[in-house]
Amino acid sequence: MRYIEIISGPQTLYIDEEELEAIIENPSVHRVPGQPQDIAGISYYMGKLVVYYNPFDMCGTAQEVYRCGIILRGGTGYRGILSDTVGEETNNGQEMEQIIKGVWVKKHD
C-alpha cells in the first residue's frame, strides 16, 4: 500500500493514496466560532465544503498557518488535514494504526 506522508511538528501521519482527492498549497482556511478544538476550520474545493481537521492539535502543535491542505474523498463534502510537509512512502511492513478513515500512524512499542 502506498501512502502520502504528512509532517507537522513532531507528528507524522500517513494518508492512504486511494483516499486522496487533492493537495492544496497554502489553503485558505477560515476558523469557525465555537468549533471543536480538533477542527482547524473550513474552506471550499470544487464548490464543496471542506472541513479541515488538525490532528496535531492533540499533540500540542497547533498553529495558524499551514503550507498544505490534504483533501480526502468524502460524500457530500470533503475532509481535510493541514500539514507543513508532504512526501510519499511505501509501507515497509511496519504496523500502522488507523486514527480516522484513510489516515494512519505508525505503531510504536
Condensed to tens digits (0 to 9), the pLDDT of residues 23-72 reads 999 988 888 888 887 888 899 999 889 998 876 554 444 556 678 899 99
- Predicted pLDDT of residue 63: 53
Confidence band of 11 (pLDDT split at 50, 70, 90)? confident
Q: How far apart are CA 76 and CA 19, in angstroms?
A: 15
The DSSP annotation for 21-67 comes to: EEEEES---B--TT--TTEEEEEEETTEEEEEE-GGGGGT---S--S
What domains appear along the chain, each with residue ranges and CATH number? 2-106 (2.40.50.180)
Residues 74-89: what's their mean pLDDT?
Answer: 79
- Predicted pLDDT of residue 45: 92
Q: How far apart are CA 89 and CA 6, in angstroms?
A: 10
